[in-house]
Chains A and B, each alone.
Chain A
Amino acid sequence: MSDNKPLDKIIVELRERAKELNCLYTVQELLNITHNLNKEICEKIIEAIPPGFQYPDICVVKIVCPNGEFQSKEFIETPWVLKANIYVQDEMVGNIQVYYTEERPFIDEGPFLKEERRLIDNIVERIGLQIMHFQLKNVFEKQKLSDQKSEWWVVLEMLKQTDPQLLLRLSRKMVNYLCWNGVHEADSLMDRFNPIVKSAGGKFLSEVNKPYKKQADNNGINLSYEIFELAAKHLDEQQILEIIQKWTKEDKSGFLTEVLENSGSTLSNISSAIERYHHLIPNMIVLSEPRERSLKVALIRRVLTDQSDFIEIAKDYIEIDSFNELLHRTIYPSKSHGRLGGKSAGLFLAKHILSDSSDESESLKNIKTPKTWYLTSDGLLNFMSHNNLEDIMEQKYKESGRVRQEYPYIIQVFKNSSFSPEIVKGLLMALEDFGNVPLVVRSSSLLEDRIGAVFAGKYKSLFIANQGGKEERLSELMDAIAEVYASTFGPEAINYRVQNNLIDYHEEMGIMIQEVVGAKAGPYFFPSFAGVAFSRNEYRWSKRIKPEDGLVRIVPGLGTRAVDRLSNDYPLLISPGQPGLGINVTIDEIIRYSPKYIDVINLETGTFETIEIDLLLKRYGREYPAISRVVSVLKQNHIQPARPLGMNFGKDSFVVNFEGLIKRTSFLKEIRQMLSILEKKYGHPVDIEFAHNGKDLYILQCRSQSYRAQSRPAVIPADINKTNILFSADKYISNGTISGIEYVVYIDPVEYGNLTDKSHMLEIANTVGLLNDKLPLKKYILVGPGRWGSRGDIRLGVSVTFSEINKTALLIEIAKKRRNYVPDLSFGTHFFQDMVEANIKYMPLYPDDTSTFNEDTLNSSKNILPDIIPEAKNLQNVIKVIQVSDNNTKELNVYMNADRGQAVGIIENL
């Protein structure tokens, strides 16, 4: 990209497109004036065509049609010609020729653009239709005058002359129709009509269009008359005519079927076909319901995803024509067979479901989706082959250590690679369309967001400021896409795929380029608030909250802080079904667990930043979008609502509690409605991402929330022998049964608390990861102090990543009093959805309270850590690994019943 040429070219091209469309509309308008393609109309069309071409001044036109030959005033024939034939029912009846009178540089087809070819093809197609209509009309009119034969007879006559193929197809349909409607005489006609059917055992073959061409002989045509005569006995004149009319219109969608059912057709073919369809509806083309359905399914499968669960739902909400706009904003390699991927498909479907349901709920009408461009999934392959990076595909079969080791290198290689010219061109168009607004580049892989497989945070999403010159913006965008591409080969993603038996699936990565929802405050750009909402609440901070009350995680600013895991900050959690029941009640709690930081895009430095919300408010509070909905005023020990007027950002203290949003707007009601509609239509729980710019609520993503059958309330055994109880709990219990546990891995809270060296604490985390590899899947439970997965201060809990604990069946956090203080537990928030996904249960234990934890049993059992990992022998005072039974006579079973708020882990005989 050494100069500005490509971009200038784009602008020229866009201008050309506009001219071509104008031309097409003018022609269409002319055709609407009269059905007869007379001299006057032809001359006007001749005048209308040159302005649609690149060089109108030297452009002359000639139309040859059944009504004669017409041409421009100063018409001459030259070697630079673009010619298109006019067909009526597959018969050539004329043509249009466009000449340049002087030589011009060669582009696509001589001096003509390929778009100009499309334009002229489009025009002749319309003229063809027009001529056919006129002929039909004439036939009908003549028929009326003579009034000798039935109208349908005349139609057949005409078809016989103009389009015998269509006549055969219609006859075939009619005979089928008669058979299905129980007209027995039709059976024999059927046999005669197509002997192959009989030889195939009397079974109907499926589609009928193609084989007929072979049999188009006079015999078939004659049979047509017999068929329609039979039809006339059972149907009245009007009915037959209506049927013929309907089937004829349906027949015109043949091009769509051909493109969509043909697995060889490229996205570019599909896009053209959809565009053509878009211009033909609503009057020129009609689809039968099954035909429409089958086309929709084909389109969804080709463009969005081939998951049958998704298609099943999507086909009820997405219209064929809605793909027109989608494909206009889709960038793909030439000859692309790619799809848009899970995330894009999910959002597209959610948008249509919500707009379809807006009758049920007025408020849903106002929910928006941000402007989005898509890069198809084969863009990744295109990128890799363009840069000869195919070797990297093998990455997923390498051992996890090597994957981790090589990942930083892959990122660098990807970022230093280039995109193919057609993709660059597409990205430039996208940037032109977006303008200078900040963008987010999100992954939308084919495996991502499948039902039951949520790649939560495994692939990257990157924000870019999109400021400055065009080149700068383009290079920033390409850099971000390359990095998202690279994340396909990251250790977390590959490990997740191994876990879920998805490793052998072909992974392709689609990209979504989305406008960031937000507003400007000072140098920063961010939404008023954003977050994630789940239709099922797996958290329980009060017995009164039911899973179906849902859960919303809201943060001020960009939603990254709600989606990603935080170690030093908290999003606001609220259950839309029980908005009155907050997690935090006292002023101390409300302040302590309120968001203190905000993610923003700094437009001046072009970077994504995390800043203290206090500082932001002090300097730019007045510009913060809808600030009075986000914060309340903190007056010593009293919290007062913030009002749009009278806030003193320099002096007052604020707490981010979204009180205004919750109490003074219908936000939670809307979210709840949205979740309930989406859950109902999807047929299972969902989660969505949203953002609000101070004016409108946007939905950014929608996908299935996994929810499993094993999460039913357990029956807690009666009369348990106390000595067999390993632990019991009565707070924040979820539902479920875990059986057959063979090992307990226990991090001694006191010993862990005594570690003084950070490296020792990290060693504990690593060893837990090694144990996770060695112990059998879902046969062990993990018990440890405080917050599992701590990031910042790892004294709060063992600093594991999810991949280091992903094989455990149950994660227990012990809140053991230290000095006068009971540590805050994480409640699994570090990897909440991962745990839900992997069906790992969570339980907090408060041994100083009413929970019990039988440390004696653990301490008196043999610590087998050195047997499993000999080099970790020096850690055995901190990590205890206990085998529940060394001779397979006992197992640990955990029973959890949220409704009773009780859980117990019992060692039972097998």
Chain B
Amino acid sequence: MSNESYNPFAIAQTQFDKVAEMLDLDQATRDLLRNPLREYHFSIPVALDDGEIKIFKGYRIQHNDARGPAKGGLRFHPEETADTVRALSMWMSWKTAVADLPLGGAQGGVICDPHNLSDSEQERLCRGWVRQVFNFIGPEIDIPDPDLMTNPKHMLWMLDEYEVLAGKKAPGSFAGKPVGMGGSMGRAEATGYGVVINIHEALKELNLSPANTTASIQGFGNVSQFAIELFNQMGGTVISVSSWNQTDNDSYTFRKESGVQLDELRSVTDSFGGINKEKAIDLGYEVLTGDAWIEQEVDILIPAAIGNQINKDNVGRISDRVKIIAEGANGPTTPEADTVINERNIFVIPDFLANAGGVTSSYFEQVQSNMNYYWEKEEVLSKLDVKLRSAFISISDFAKDNNLTMRDAAFVISIDRVAKACHDRGWV
């Protein structure tokens, strides 16, 4: 994008600069972490089905690998730019660090529109991408994940090409694979469960028992469905969820004071989390307006839909009873609303931390692939539980010790961890 007012990399650098100042990082560390360690820009020739050769521009940018092999998404997008990839690679470094995973951050992509490519052309593109970076990725170097417009299908093509070039099996070289083909159990549950594991820890800090708490959730996708599952298991009650209605092109809040029953609601929900309004009414749900979820008399709010949902216009409608806001979605709270929430002393679990279950399960996939030994779902979920609880505790302690909000603490701690690793390695 030529639009100069919005450059994601510049934004990421500004964010970093702010924390660097707080941490009083030395100039060399700042210079190192402000920019990626390594960037690979390359051309991928692909023979199209009709014989024409087209050259695609590909990237792999490794922001930092001081804490371990780099990890991050691989995107196919027609408007991909190097700066977007740089920004995302930097965010990946912080994201793996906040969950305290032994990983670094990277991101990659190809400038292309898959809508213009047949399956076989996409396959050749994937294989071409691997051939260009074969020496710079791998289980011990950098592990790509599916991202925008890529999915497990692409990962398997890439994995296959990688293994051919390597002359050996290396299932840990790519993540996001389907179960049975090097994928991990529990991946679907991980993010939603992670949100609730964080909530559980927060409740402990507030001296509340989950059994006596109620929650209202925005969205009924994968994250919220598993969040409800675990929250119910812990004894809590979700009284309302909102959901986008594709036919009406509007969202509604579905409320049941006695508690949302996950299975019955799932039975009237499409694969995009759209709840069928009429059938929900038949099941005894009240249908309220889409934004009614925010004003419910509950202890916990979980925005788990899309960004910018809690803003200066509706932040005032949050009930006095609300004690915790757990950000299941990315960036659901605007900065203005964030200020109000902090003033009201509501405990915020920032998105960074709340949805760390995703990246953690991806790390578990890698670990299992490297061993070529796959855990049962219970084992994955119990390891997730341990990992996320300790991540929460260290951030929460850090926040208390340094009088920071959870959001600031999460950000500071992750940058601090990366900076320390660079230091300990003697780089800076």
Residues of A bordering B, CB below 8 Å: 541-544, 568, 578-583, 585-588, 591-592, 596, 634-639, 653, 792-793, 795-796, 819-821, 823
Contacts and interface: CB of A to CB of B under 8 A. Distances in A.
Contact of A820 (B116, B149, B151, B306): B306
Given A542-B116, A580-B118, A793-B249, A637 B151 contact: yes
A583 B115 contact: yes
Given A568-B247, A585-B114, A580 B151 contact: no
A585 B149 contact: yes
Contacts of B297: none
| The 10 nearest A-B residue pairs measured at CB | A580-B118, A585-B114, A638-B178, A638-B152, A542-B116, A793-B248, A820-B306, A796-B249, A793-B247, A795-B249
Interface of B is mostly: loop
Given A543-B116, A820-B306, A820-B307, A792 B152 contact: no
Contacts of A592: 246, 272
Interface in B248-267: 248-250
B116 A581 contact: yes
Contacts of B151: 586-587, 637-638
B188 interface: yes
Contacts of A638: 151-153, 178
B271 A635 contact: no
A637 B152 contact: yes
24 contacts: A541-B115, A542-B115, A579-B118, A581-B116, A581-B117, A581-B118, A582-B115, A585-B114, A585-B149, A586-B114, A586-B149, A587-B151, A588-B272, A591-B271, A591-B272, A592-B246, A592-B272, A596-B270, A637-B146, A638-B152, A793-B247, A820-B307, A821-B306, A823-B249
A543 B270 CA distance: 32
B178 A635 contact: yes
Contact of A639 (B117, B153, B187, B246): B153
Interface in B268-319: 270-272, 306-308
Interface residues of B, number: 30
A543 B116 CA distance: 7
B121 interface: yes
Interface string B115-136: 1111111000000000000000
B49 interface: yes
Given A592-B246, A636-B178, A796-B249, 19 more contacts: A541-B115, A542-B116, A544-B116, A568-B247, A580-B117, A581-B117, A586-B149, A586-B151, A587-B151, A588-B272, A591-B272, A596-B270, A634-B271, A636-B179, A637-B146, A638-B151, A638-B152, A793-B248, A819-B308
A795 B149 contact: no
A586 B149 CA distance: 5
A585 B115 contact: yes
Contacts of B246: 592
B161 to A, nearest CB: 18
A107 B272 CA distance: 71
Contact of A580 (B120, B152, B178): B120
Interface centre among B117, B153, B249 (most CB of A within 10 A): B249
Given A585-B115, A636-B188, A638-B151, A820 B249 contact: no
Contacts of A580: 49, 117-121
Contacts of B178: 635-638
Nearest to A569: B247
Nearest to B52: A544
A588 B308 CA distance: 22
Interface string B306-336: 1110000000000000000000000000000
Contacts of A541: 115
A878 B367 CA distance: 58
Interface string B167-184: 000000000101100000
Contacts of A581: 115-118
Contacts of B249: 793, 795-796, 823
Contacts of B116: 542-544, 581
A639 B156 CA distance: 12
Interface in B37-80: 49
Nearest to B307: A820
Interface centre among B114, B121, B151, B272 (most CB of A within 10 A): B151
Interface centre among A541, A588, A636 (most CB of B within 10 A): A636
Nearest to A592: B272
Contacts of A588: 272
Contacts of A634: 271
Contacts of B119: 580
B364 to A, nearest CB: 16
Interface in B138-154: 146, 149, 151-153
B327 to A, nearest CB: 16
Contact of B271 (A586, A653, A796): A653
Contacts of A591: 271-272
A634 B188 CA distance: 14
A542 B117 CA distance: 9
A588 B149 CA distance: 9
A582 B149 CA distance: 14
Contacts of B118: 578-581
A341 B250 CA distance: 46
B309 to A, nearest CB: 9
A544 B51 CA distance: 13
Contacts of B308: 819-820
A632 B116 CA distance: 22
Nearest to B150: A586
A658 to B, nearest CB: 14
A160 to B, nearest CB: 74
A580 B176 CA distance: 24
Nearest to B118: A580
B409 to A, nearest CB: 28
Contacts of B306: 819-821
Contacts of A819: 306, 308
A819 B309 CA distance: 10
Contacts of A583: 115
A667 to B, nearest CB: 17
A596 B269 CA distance: 13
Contacts of A544: 116
Interface centre among B49, B176, B246, B271 (most CB of A within 10 A): B271
Contacts of A542: 115-116
Contacts of A585: 114-115, 149
Interface centre among B187, B246, B250 (most CB of A within 10 A): B246
Nearest to A849: B79
A231 B119 CA distance: 74
Contact of A795 (B49, B120, B250, B271): B250
Interface string B215-254: 0000000000000000000000000000000111110000
Contacts of A579: 118
Nearest to A850: B79
B293 to A, nearest CB: 15
B8 to A, nearest CB: 16
B131 to A, nearest CB: 22
B271 to A, nearest CB: 5
A364 B317 CA distance: 67
B193 to A, nearest CB: 15
A349 to B, nearest CB: 34
B225 to A, nearest CB: 13
A678 B392 CA distance: 68
Contacts of B188: 636
A587 B272 CA distance: 11
B413 to A, nearest CB: 29
Interface string B359-372: 00000000000000
Contacts of B120: 580
Nearest to A659: B119
A729 B272 CA distance: 31
B89 to A, nearest CB: 22
Nearest to B244: A821
A638 B272 CA distance: 15
A849 to B, nearest CB: 9
Interface centre among B114, B146, B188 (most CB of A within 10 A): B114
